Structure 1
Amino acid sequence: MSILRSDQPKPPTLRSASPALCIVAQGAKWASFGGARLEYRAGQALVVGVQTPSRGQVFEASPDKPCLVLLLQLDLSMIRAVANDMPTAPVPSGDASCGVFVANFDGPLMDCALRIVHLLDTPDAAAVLQPMIMREIGYWLLAGTNGPKVAKLASIQSPSHKLARAVDNMRANYAQPMRVEDLARIAQLSESAFHRQFKALTGLPPLQYQKQLRLLEARRLLLSQSMSVQAAAFEVGYESPSQFSREYARMFGAPPKRQLAHLKTIGEAA
């Protein structure tokens, strides 16, 4: 669990999203996944059911009314267990929607979120009670209007789901050369069906997904491990440092050397 506060709008940032609930108590944010941009405000939550690169920004915040966000990790195996315990579980949605959507977070859902926040005052109780409250959140998500979408996400992210196995393979081997036909074979789908279902789930075509994973990991290596640009490029699977620098600049707005120099200048000034 994390509580995020922003006193002013921030520049867009790129990150790798994981299954989570991003609940806005005040202010507003947007997040984009591939070509889809989703806005969510106070009383709403971004429900993320897939690991995928995303770009996001706080766009409504001020010192008087800061943007306040509660970020909760979402355990999809827990969602499946709750669904199995329900007398009448929702039928997973059959549409080809992305694995991310915005939901109203009010009524019993907001009550659960507030109880989790109050547990910050009692860490010993939190260790026992928070998992129970998260199960309750899972129930209300499944029982609500977005229940079919939540059930679909839990189903797709099951270890037994063939598309999930292909996505996991891609994430584990993103630095290696990759062919869509091999991934489609893992998912036991035709290439066209795999491409369509993968993009519907993550918001990105398979090769673009791989590229963004590589560049996000390269940025982490550059910033947290002080790795050279050339070493980072080779580490994430690029054979050409010049191609790496071009694609890095397109994704992050500046070549890696210039961005690192800028960050170093900021650090020295601080």
Structure 2
Amino acid sequence: MQSDPGPDSPTTGTSSQRVAIITGATGSLGRAIAHRLASAGFRLALVGRRQPVLDELAAELDAAESGIVTTVVADLAEPGGAARAVTHAHDRFGRMDVLVNNAGGWSGSALGPFAEKSEKDLRAELEDNLISTVLACRAAVPHMLEQRYGRIVNISSVAGIIGLDGHAAYSAAKAGHIGLARQLAFELGKDGITANCVAPGPVSTVQVRQMIEQGHPGIQTMLEATPTGRLTSAEQIADAVAFFASETAGQINGQFLVIDGGMSSA
């Protein structure tokens, strides 16, 4: 039986040597995850679609945590986008230890009854939320196999385990995150690679807070269905990601952690 090599082995490197790629780094949640992993000593490759926002975050991290940061502008759902981002990170740092699949999301304007959604809209939502994650994993896994070490953390959603009004394609994609993690856990565990998911309920991001201010009915319904009666903070999700990326979680594989204030327990 193969044992966990431990945080300071040649396979994993020390915490100050390990490298994490964070996709979707330009959003509120990506920013919180970046700060949390930087504070844990990771070197970071930040991936997003907006270079000015990536530059701003990189500057924050250098000032706050003195981390070593690189940025990559890429659309992971486009052909070659994920491979280019991962190659850039590996070339920059020479390692590929943690992949946080945070790219994607949804907007109030994208929601609606399944029968009324166009094929174009459905494809776009699946590409942004699932295909981007599949392709990022496909690009990163060969490097992890070479090291015989890796941590994959998918940011799924409570929408991937319960039904929510108007979320058909998004729910399918987020359920896909869980299925993908379980498959990769089964297939790659023997090679020192784990794959897990964090499944948040409504998170206090800029987008969600704006929707609350606008009185968006979907968000109000979710909040009313949450026993704690409040949003999850981005920092709480980031803490869960850091746990799955840590050596403490080395024997946790193929699992998903729901952080939703009890919404899915109803």
**Larger radius of gyration between Structure 1 and Structure 2:** 1
The verdict on a shared fold, with TM-score over 0.5 as the criterion, is no
Normalised by the length of structure 1, the TM-score is: 0.28
Larger fraction in strand: 1
